[in-house]
A and B are shown apart, each in its own frame.
Chain A
Amino acid sequence: MSEKSNMKFFYAGIAIALLLSVVAPFLASSDPDGLESAAGGVIEESKLSELEEMEPVVGSPLPDYAIEGMGKSGEIIAIVIGTIAVLVISFVVGKVL
């Protein structure tokens, strides 16, 4: 193993991650995920809408991977921001620990 080949892996990984971030808003299914879908099937309707209307305990800057009023480009920006944030945080955590 060499440092150079690991850096190659690093750049290839970033390229794939950024590519996924850009295409996800267009290709990802908007159907509910397994947990949401199960909730829709097994929870009584009135109780479910009550649960879904409850606000998250902590507010988030980019809820649902979107920027209000920016459509698909906002989604791309949101996911790219997340990808880069995770990249940087992982790097820093790796270095610090």
Chain B
Amino acid sequence: MHIPDSFIPLNQAIAYWVIAIPFIFMSMKWAKNELDEMKIPVLAALSAGIFAIQAMNIPIGMGTSGHMVGATLVAIVFGSPWAGVLVLTLVLLVQGFVFADGGITTLGANILNMGVISGFVGYYTYVALRKNTSISIAALVGAWLGLFISAIACSVQMWIAGTFPLVPGLMAMGLYHLIIGFIGEGLITAIVIAAIAKSRPDLLENNSTIKPGKSKKGARA
């Protein structure tokens, strides 16, 4: 879903940058206040893993492929959508500047879609579902919905840009990303979160959503 430079006129691309910058700033503030020294290796490992898995395009039929984005996964591990914004910003910067994957003028839009929208929708869907469902199902549906909504946002941006017609754009983007979102985002996020919950439950502990309907924060304070 990496938008190239040519798909958005410069003035609109700048507008998306202006919207994205406060989110990037907030994600840096999160790192400053919440990311303790001990968790830096976890963040770095997740970032590297997400960069690598984004190179792994999965065929979804219809001559189309897709890959994981990963903002929801990072947000769940750190218990904050800002962690997802930070990691996706770094990954997208490297992809754009080193590999021409996604434009530089459109980097703001890409950070907004894949870092902010997919991470926030994914994480808060996960948090809402976690009250009544298992960690795997909540992670799967959250990540799936996060990716789907970000694709819908992307097609609206493509329409405003005059690049895609509205309804056919929404239909095509929606259809492809429903499938990519389930396989590439939902399933992988659920598998990784389930594996972390099993092997490193302490890692998810600061995340009050690990136990249904119960926050540990009060007990600890």
Contacts and interface: CB of A to CB of B under 8 A. Distances in A.
A52 B6 contact: yes
B64 A34 contact: yes
Given A42-B169, A56-B5, A93-B31, A87 B48 contact: yes
A9 to B, nearest CB: 5
Interface size class of B (residues with CB under 8 A): 35 or more
Interface in A40-97: 41-43, 51-52, 54, 56-65, 78-79, 81-91, 93-95, 97
B104 A56 contact: yes
Contacts of A43: 163-164
Contact of A33 (B1, B28, B98): B1
B165 to A, nearest CB: 6
Interface residues of A, number: 63
Task: Decide if the interface of chain A is mainly helix, strand, loop or mixed.
Answer: helix
Interface in B23-66: 28, 31-32, 35, 38-53, 55-59, 62-66
Given A42-B168, A82-B94, A89-B94, A34 B173 contact: yes
B83 to A, nearest CB: 11
Contacts of B62: 37
B49 to A, nearest CB: 4
B45 A32 contact: no
B63 A1 contact: no
A34 B151 contact: yes
A13 B49 contact: yes
Contact of A94 (B1, B43, B202): B43
B90 A89 contact: yes
B169 A38 contact: yes
A61 B97 CA distance: 8
Contacts of B28: 93, 97
Contacts of B59: 29, 31
Nearest to A10: B41
Given A9-B203, A41-B172, A97-B31, A57 B94 contact: no
B180 A34 contact: yes
Contact of A18 (B39, B52, B155): B52
A24 B56 contact: yes
Which of A34, A52, A87 has its CB near the most chain B CB atoms (within 10 A)? Answer: A34
Interface of B: 1-7, 28, 31-32, 35, 38-53, 55-59, 62-67, 86-87, 90-91, 93-101, 103-105, 151, 154-155, 163-165, 168-169, 172-173, 176-177, 180, 200, 202-203, 205
Q: Which 7 A-B pairs have the closest CB atoms?
A: A13-B45, A10-B41, A94-B40, A34-B176, A38-B172, A29-B65, A20-B52
